[in-house]
A = this chain, B = another copy of it.
Amino acid sequence: MFTPRAIGFVRSPYTDTKSIPKGLGAKHDAEGVLEILPEFELGLTDVEGFSHLFVIWTFDRSEGFELIGSPPFDERPHGVFSTRSPRRPNPIALTVVELLSREGRLLRVRGVDMLDGTPILDIKPYMSSIPAEKIRRGWLAEAEARTHK
């Protein structure tokens, strides 16, 4: 296996996990900056042509993992691979952000849900999406339906 290394760090308005919007209908429209390390800047070539990016990052302030647990907004327990819980066997996270602008090695983005200072592992272009009508969302849709009653 490889040894993960940071390619950069997130600058985010969130300094503690409590301040990050969570749960059903949470809006993720906070702006932040993906600050890529100088030695990786060349890898950003042409990235500004994409409207959205996948950001792969680490839950660097999470410890251990739980295979089953309850998300903050649903009292029912779910398997870790059915949730976005930070307590995963590999503490890897994925966020889709909208790319607002690029200035050199700084990417200004909308949609950050990371803590300030979070290490970034990778950035990938968002090339296509599953049409909304084809997506089934299991326990999440059920929890939403219960909430809206």
Contacts and interface: CB of A to CB of B under 8 A. Distances in A.
Given A50-B137, A119-B1, A42 B56 contact: no
Given A81-B123, A125-B82, A52 B90 contact: no
13 contacts: A2-B4, A7-B90, A40-B81, A44-B82, A46-B138, A46-B139, A47-B82, A49-B137, A49-B139, A52-B135, A83-B125, A128-B135, A129-B135
A124 interface: yes
B45 A94 contact: no
Interface of A: 1-7, 36, 40, 42-54, 56, 58, 60, 67-68, 77-84, 88-92, 94, 96, 119, 121-132, 134-142
Contacts of A47: 79, 81-82, 138
Given A4-B1, A90-B7, A126 B130 contact: yes
Chain copies in the assembled complex: 2
A1 B91 CA distance: 9
Contacts of A83: 125
Contacts of A82: 44-47, 49-50, 125
A36 B81 CA distance: 11
A67 B40 CA distance: 7
Contacts of A79: 42-47
A50 to B, nearest CB: 5
Contacts of A139: 46, 49
